[in-house]
Structure 1
């Protein structure tokens, strides 16, 4: 099991810096993995994690990849565990560009409000404090939190590009003469991107593979599943050979990648089928009861995901109800959910 700050050497110019899992009870923030890569004379950092210890590991990794005279810092999305050390860009001592997704700026500026919105949906569904209290507790774990630097800009300030990789077409942005491709995915949260490093064959999925059902309020289940299928095809066509992500602390290579991604897609369909069965013939269910049974079904199916806990299980359950087309019948805590009538009464 990797420990916080462990370095996995992928090749002479590429290092995966390992993070850690979330443990709110122990006051431990989750820290996302980061990629450190050199292409030509350019240092590429994909995410910066959080905590001073992880920052030190990032600095060590930048010394392992060879000489560089400029730097490119790429933020895959605005969640706290990915952005806390972004101001490291200001300390590299070379010309730097730093890009973040425009759709995630609000949560980066005001993470407490973002998490309150996510937790309000599960009030009463899990034995958790009130949403503002819980959001404050979670956000306070991620220190120091410096998501912006002097050079920070949004990707969307650059012209959007059509990017062809093998038989697939994406939209996004390219850097380092096309060796670094930032591809829009927007499934795990509103602004999410994935990163393809073509010269070393690495595809960094970041958090798009965090389980078969996205948990956050701005998650898009269709986009998650679409990007998993697209990335599997990139590996089938040999356009990528190594898969990294934000939270599994490993490098997946070659033939193991496609079965892994197909497994996530199979889990998504199996979990949705199980959820459909839990709503019963009436199509009406109380979310508290559904959440308990949904977590049991996920365990029976062997469905995991990053940072499994009651909080994220409840968030996934609410998203799954919406994915099935159910809506709350009122604003009361634990009000029944059902399908809206197809015809006006």
Structure 2
């Protein structure tokens, strides 16, 4: 049984700081794991979680990885459970840099609107404990204090984009600390998501790209999630990475265990899509609430959980699954039927009169 702030020492200069699961009914925020690493004289913090207790645990971990004289704070994405202590960069007493993904700046500045958008999509599909706007405000309120930026915060995108080759694979992203830290664009779990590879200790931090077989957020991209899972599995097979960590499973996976875990997520994703097809094949019009109920049963039958499983996130996954299958709502309003748009050829474009010969312009008068 793990507790908030417990430490897993990966090696003498790398520590995983454990977060905790979400419990909205108890006003308990989820806290994402943070990775603390030293490369040379640089302290690397990957995500900072939330809550003052977790902040203290990160400081404790930073004191265990050896001497450092500069700091690099990397935000994998803008969700509140990953960013609450970002201003630690200002308090470490050494020159520090902090980077965030540009596509996530809007949600970081206005997290309530981001979560309203996510909850509005499932109104009527799951028993929300409060209306979408109130529930979004509650999610933001329990993730306090929220210190998102510091004096040196910049976006990754302000740096020149690099082509990063690791083994047989090619990524785009950014490198730091003379190439020992590689930030790779993934953009699956949400619009700006990145993953982090620490080459000198073999750690690949997946953050929330491995949160389950299917993305839940409104800005999730299922293809990108599954593509990055496959790419990371290849890195482990080629021994370019040897230790897998992430944002919400409170464990460290090594070598073949990491490959099996990633393969399992991919298998679950395809199994879920097959189950969803079975739920939509015989009906032209689908009630999302009915689909969500059967989809939740398919999740249970397949033994698929994911990070922080609950009815709200299951409904968010179900909506994304319907979209992925090509269904669209027929009108506005909660639980309106969804269907596949009719397939037909567009009407022909009417032909106009053929253009006449171009007229030469008379020479202008002197």
Q: TM-score range by the shorter chain?
A: over 0.9
Distance 2:284 2:179 in 1: 50
> How far apart, in 2, do the equivalents of 1:332 and 1:97 lie?
45
Matched residue, 1:303: 304
Q: How does 1:256-271 map to 2 (within 5 A)?
A: 256-271=257-272
User: Residues 130-279 of structure 1: matches in 2 within 5 Å?
Assistant: 130-279=131-280
Equivalents in 2 of 1:236, 1:312: separation in Å?
32
Larger radius of gyration: 2
What residue is the counterpart of 2:332 in the other structure? 331
Match of 2:24 in 1: 24
Distance in 2 of aligned mates of 1:331 and 1:280:
23
Question: How many Å separate the matches in 2 of 1:149 and 1:313?
Answer: 35
Determine the C-alpha separation between the residues in 2 that align with 1:83 and 1:262. Answer: 29
The runs of at least 4 consecutive aligned structure 1 residues that moved more than 2 Å come to none
Local SS of the residue matching 1:332 = coil
The 5 A counterparts of 1:52-201 are 52-128=52-128, 129-201=130-202
- Structure 2 unaligned residues grouped into runs of 5+: 348-366
CA distance in 2: counterparts of 1:333 and 1:93, whole angstroms: 52
Cα separation, 1, equivalents of 2:226 and 2:256: 20
The whole-number CA distance in structure 2 between the counterparts of 1:14 and 1:38 is 7
Give, in whole Å, the separation in 1 of the partners of 2:16 and 2:177. Answer: 20
In structure 2, how many angstroms separate the alpha carbons of the residues matched to 1:94 and 1:138? Answer: 33
CA RMSD of aligned residues (A): 0.8
- State how far apart, in whole Å, the 1-side matches of 2:321 and 2:284 are: 13
Q: C-alpha separation between the residues in 2 aligned to 1:302 and 1:295?
A: 11
Equivalent residue, structure 1, for 2:364? none
Give, in whole Å, the separation in 2 of the partners of 1:251 and 1:92.
27
CA distance in 1, matches of 2:249, 2:146: 23
**Alignment-derived partner of residue 47 in structure 1:** 47
Alpha-carbon offset, residue 282 of structure 1: 2.8
Partner of 1:322: 323
Q: Give TM-score, length-normalised by structure 2.
A: 0.93
Unaligned 5+ segments in structure 1 are none
Alpha-carbon distance, 1:236 to partner: 0.3
* 1:2 CA drift (Å): 1.5
Residue aligned with 1:3, SS: coil
SS at match of 2:72: strand
Tell me how far apart the structure 2 counterparts of residues 332 and 66 of structure 1 sit (CA, whole Å): 57
Aligned residue pairs total 345
Measure the CA separation in 1 of the matches of 2:108 and 2:260: 34
Shift of 1:144: 0.5
Q: How far apart in 1 are the matches of 2:173 and 2:57?
A: 29
Partner secondary structure for residue 271 of structure 1? helix
SS of the counterpart of 2:244? strand
TM-score w.r.t. structure 1 length?
0.99
- Report deviation, 1:278: 0.7
215-224 vs 281-290, greater mean Cα deviation: 281-290
